[in-house]
Amino acid sequence: MAELRNSRAVALARRWDLIRLVTYGFASVAALAVDVGVFLLLLMAPVSAAGATAVGYCAGIVTHWLLSSRVVFADSVVAAGPLRRRQKMLFGISALVGLLLTTVIVASADRAGIDPRIGKVFAIAASFALTWLLRSKIVFRPLS
């Protein structure tokens, strides 16, 4: 009987992780819309591809924090105090790691003569995977 309860609990936890991943995907799409919108606008101005991607990514970071902390990981967000500051700091660090990866990929593509928008597509996939891992396993890990 205990084995059956454990297997149900494991199945439920896996289902919850999948739902959270899908919700994180929707939050990422919203943040990406902000990111890419700013990126494309700045590419029309006299701004370098690396600068445009960095500013766009930063705008997306703010959007992602708001959605992640209020929707995706709402059950794991600390209300206030030092743990909340730690969570924000870790989120910021995860965002900076994603920003660095994105900027390096886009700048490298641009230097290689590849359209920065193509580099941005590859950077989006790489950054999504990396930040999901960091945020789900470190930043918003369930508090027990």
pLDDT tens-digit profile, the chain (144 residues): 666 666 776 676 677 678 888 898 899 899 989 988 998 999 899 888 888 888 998 899 899 988 988 888 877 776 778 888 888 899 899 999 988 998 899 899 999 999 988 998 999 899 889 998 998 889 888 665
Whole-number pLDDT of residue 124: 86
Give dist(CA 98, CA 123) in Å, integer: 9
How far, in whole angstroms, is CA 36 from its chain's centroid? 14
* Pair of tokens at residue 49: 């591809």
Whole-number pLDDT of residue 143: 62
Given 3-state DSSP classes, what are the helix, strand and coil percentages for the chain, each rounded to the nearest 5? Answer: 85, 0, 15
Radius of gyration of the chain (CA): 18
Within 13 A of 17's CA, how many CA atoms are on the CB side? 13
